[in-house]
Amino acid sequence: MTEYKFVTVAGWVTNRGLERKMDGKLASLASEGWVVREMSWGVSGFFVATLFIVLERNADA
């Protein structure tokens, strides 16, 4: 059976702030067997963006 998880990551779009937060979050989830199925983003304020990430993993593994 496949499990799904929805996470959000918000951060500053300057100085790679959002990219660093996303990398850390995805590395942590990947160690638990989660893989990215879909990713989108939205602007939530002045120089702030939010990533919306759908993850999946095989629960039978």
Residue 20 backbone phi and psi in degrees, to 5: -65, -40
Q: C-alpha 46: how far from its chain's center?
A: 21
User: What is the torsional sign of CA 20, 25, 36, 53?
Assistant: negative
Are the C-beta atoms of residues 39 and 53 closer than 8 Å to each other?
Answer: yes
pTM of the model: 0.74
Question: pLDDT for 15-54, tens place per residue?
Answer: 677 788 888 889 999 999 999 999 998 877 778 888 899 9
User: Which residues are CB-neighbours of 33 under 8 A, at least 6 positions away?
Assistant: 57, 58, 61
